Structure 1
Amino acid sequence: MIKQFNIPFALTFIALVLAFLIGGVKDMILVAVLCVLEVSLSLDNAVANAAVLRNWSDKWRDRFMTFGLPVAVIGMRLLFPLLIVAVAGGIGLWQAARLALEAPDQYAAILTSAHHEVSAFGGAFLLMVFFGFMFNADKEEHWIEVIEKPFARLGRLSAIEVALTLGIIALVSTQLPDGERASFLLAGGGGVIAFIVAHGVGDLVGGDATGERIVREGVAGFMYLEVLDSSFSFDGVIGAFALTNNIFLIALGLGVGAAYIRQMTLILLKKGTLAQYRFLEHGAFWAIGALAAIMLCVNVDVPEVVTGLIGACTIGVAVVSSIIVQRREVTRDATSDNPAS
């Protein structure tokens, strides 16, 4: 098991050395804390990634780590926050980078000021992911049947997940000041569009059957996973500024955490954990729904530790439920094979 984490371990060593060179032992500890924070917040992300990757070839699974990890670290945890600051502050990308280096407090203030828009985009995207799973009319196995069965029936309605997500975004926007409402709606609509584009490019390229394969195993599917990863990480990136304003330390800590999550995803696939625990995937998507709800509760400040505990507990309950059901089935089969007993 330890050998399977060679890449994350190597990246941890490199990150800690770089942190020490930047600011000594204090920054090393800070990077370690950020890494643990990222892992604790993204356990459900690992399961959700595995649910997509299980139908991919080994070549694309490898690309998920070799190409996807640099995108996750450099793109989503370093460049993307810079882009947010550039747009929110009405400045250029280079100016945003200079601001991060020369005036980190001002940089953090601008990034935090865009929290509603970031939450709208990420929350809308994750809500579409959640509804996409729950409204799957072909889904035969349900964990929380009283909710999931009616959802599956509603899945026969065309674009029900789009209508509900946009409706929720519109409803939440009414709780915001007039000056923030339009940008919130625009960002939420962007999250819905990003989800539709990620799932629709394959159909555009090659028809229904072929398109499904391309979405799952191609550039569109790869980008879908990267957007999913960033949606999980938005709150973590912004929350990290409560610990430090140094964007490089944040990228190092959260990036190493992302490496562990991706390696955990590949281990889940290799060991067939999704098949072994039948409700694990359900638990992950319920955790995604909870995270989406938290992100969209823009007027409620939910600590990151609470968010992480909700995801971990939901997955834990799903695993326990799977074990209980499996044991019941084994007992029932044994009883049916030995009726005299």
Structure 2
Amino acid sequence: MATAGPAQREAEAVAVSPQALMSVRGLGIRFKTSQGVWQATRKIDFDIAPGERVGIVGESGCGKTITGLSILRLLPNNMAGLDGSIWFDGVDLATCSDRAMRAIRGRRIAMIFQEPMSALDPVFTVGHQIAETLRIHTGVSKEEARAKILDMLRRVGIASPERRIDDYPHQLSGGMRQRVMIAAALICGPQLLIADEPTTALDVTVQAQILELLRDLSETSNTALMLITHDLGVVAETCTRMITMYAGEVIEDASVDAALVRPLHPYTSGLLRSLPHLSPRHGKLPSIPGRVPSIADMPNGCRFKARCPHAVESCEAEQELRDAGGGRKVRCWRFAELDLPGALQHAATAPIAAMVARP
């Protein structure tokens, strides 16, 4: 549970954007280990508006997935602790009761997990598993539940839903299992959908279909989407805003178009420059040297400074998430003086350019 006091929570509530569906303020996640308490994330701030599609990007180990899990309070209480607040429609999810959280989880906030085969129970039919969520939250009869599930399976693009509703997960392809996961997440009409790497291990054609489905469902039902991924192309194609995380911190928050054209943080620029593309290239594919620091050995000051080509002595000081104007935020002292390359300046590829110029 969160450790913030009443005064701090009151101040955070005042700072919440009135237009936001969810406002995360000062979120920190701590894990208890045999070596002590390790701080996995700290000072995470961001808002998600109704119907907005936000991509959370970064390398593995940057804290993307545990941030999503913490919003739904799915981290084990005996191992993980939360600091800060997660305001959702006037309720602080970090401090509300387990009973209140169960009423929100699955009904108002839903999650698509990364591995559909392991997330789906192999001993129950897909229809039974979708119906469980629906009946718990709405109390509909078996007949009403089956009719709603058949309709949702059609909406997510599953052919012959009358037959597939009684299939077991092993009888479905990877793409169909992922569609079942989306159907289960959407069956109660949530206001926010958290999707953790929803296209992992799917072929390119199925990936495109799943992303188009998520985008269309968000637009038609005004469902906010929080898309967790390491694939910047997926974010450019699907999202309107991009939040970059590094070593447990939000280091940049900007619209997708602005971040692709001119990133403000050297890490975001490094991610964009490392994108493979089809235009002629001379030499090696650019990469970011080094690796994400261990949770057990986080550096002081800027956590990216050891890998940053623009680091100076002042980067040893603590970095805060700063307002950069135009609705952008960045955790870098030097953002105003650096002219960092984005996807367009570096690659000038037709696919990326088309994504940036999309309506």
Higher helix share: 1
Both structures adopt the same fold (TM-score exceeding 0.5)? no
Higher strand share: 2
Q: TM-score range by the shorter chain?
A: under 0.3
Could you state the TM-score of these two structures normalised by the residue count of structure 2? 0.24
